[in-house]
Structure 1
Amino acid sequence: MRQSTVRIATVILLTCLFSRIVYGQTVLTISGEVTKPFSLQAADLKAMPHAEVVAKDKDGKNHTYAGVPLAELLKQAGTTTGAELRGKNLSKVVIVKATDGYEVVFALPEIDPEFTTRIILLADSVDGNPLAQGVGPYRIVVPDEKKPARWVRDVKAIEIRFASK
Structure 2
Amino acid sequence: MNMSNCMGMMHGAMDHGNAAPIPPGVLRVAFGDKSTDWTAAQLAAMPQTTVTVNNEHTKATETYTGVPLMDLLTQLGVPAVPHGKDMLLYLVAVGSDGYEAVYAVAEVNPSLHDATVIVADTENGKPLTADGPLKLIDTREKRPARWVRNLAAIHVLSGE
Give the alignment's TM-score, normalised by structure 1.
0.78
Q: Give structure 2 stretches of 5+ with no counterpart.
A: 1-21
**1:65-117 deviation digits (Å, cap 9, x = unpaired):** 000010111111211221xx121211110110000111111001111121012
Matches within 5 A, 1:15-54: 26-33=25-32, 36-54=34-52
Instruction: Give the structure 1 partner of residue 153 of structure 2.
Output: 157
- Say which structure is richer in helix: 1
Q: Match for 1:129 among 126, 129, 139?
A: 126
Q: Does 1:112 align with 2:109?
A: yes
Q: Give structure 1 stretches of 5+ with no counterpart.
A: 1-22
* Distance in structure 2 (CA, Å) of the matches to 1:90 and 1:141: 22
Task: Provide runs of 4+ in structure 1 moved above 3 Å.
Answer: none
Identity score, percent: 34
1:24 Cα deviation from its structure 2 partner: 7.0
Q: Does 1:147 align with 2:149?
A: no
1:25, 1:41 within 8 Å by CA — same for their partners in 2? no
Matches within 5 A, 1:81-96: 81-82=80-81, 85-96=82-93
Instruction: Give the structure 2 partner of residue 8 of structure 1.
Output: none
Determine which structure has more spread, i.e. the larger CA radius of gyration: 1
Q: C-alpha root-mean-square deviation of aligned residues, in Å?
A: 1.7
Give the alignment's TM-score, normalised by structure 2.
0.80
- Say which structure is richer in strand: 2
Structure 1 residue matching 2:157: 3-state secondary structure: strand
Paired letter, 2:60: K
